[in-house]
């Protein structure tokens, strides 16, 4: 959810940024649209900054997250605690492979 929120906010910033870009595009839009775009642009920027800070805080707060981001691997215990459905899928796949090799 965090990924799609951040991507949506970046898209909003891109669209509103083009609308309020004075030297090139402002004269194509009515002043009301430009003013609303300024408000939406500023709000989206503030929300995006907070979302990134929260995301960083959560990454450092949850023990084992940084290791997973850097190395691409997490412990079984971490996976079971934070992503139980994924853990069950991996366990089932491993059991299936073990049964086929017997």
Taking CA atoms, 80 is separated from 60, 67, 75, 84, in Å, by 19, 16, 9, 5
Q: Measured over all CA atoms, what is the biggest interatomic distance in the chain, rounded to whole angstroms?
A: 72
- What is the full DSSP assignment across 42-78? HHHHHHHHHHHHHHHHHHHHSTTHHHHHHHS---HHH
- The catalytic residue among 27, 41, 50, 55 is 55
Catalytic site includes residue 55:
yes
C-beta separation of 20 from 26 below 8 A = yes
- Give me the active site residues, please: 55
């Amino acid at each position: 959810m965090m990924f799609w929120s951040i991507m949506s906010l970046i898209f909003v910033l891109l669209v509103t940024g083009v609308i309020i870009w004075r030297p090139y595009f402002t004269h194509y839009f009515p002043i009301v649209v430009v003013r609303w775009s300024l408000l939406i642009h500023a709000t989206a920027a503030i929300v995006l900054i907070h979302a990134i800070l929260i995301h960083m805080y959560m990454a450092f707060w949850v023990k084992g997250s940084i290791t997973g981001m850097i190395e691409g691997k997490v412990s079984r215990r971490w996976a079971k605690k934070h992503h139980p459905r994924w853990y069950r899928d991996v366990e089932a796949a491993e059991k299936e492979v073990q049964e086929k090799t017997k």
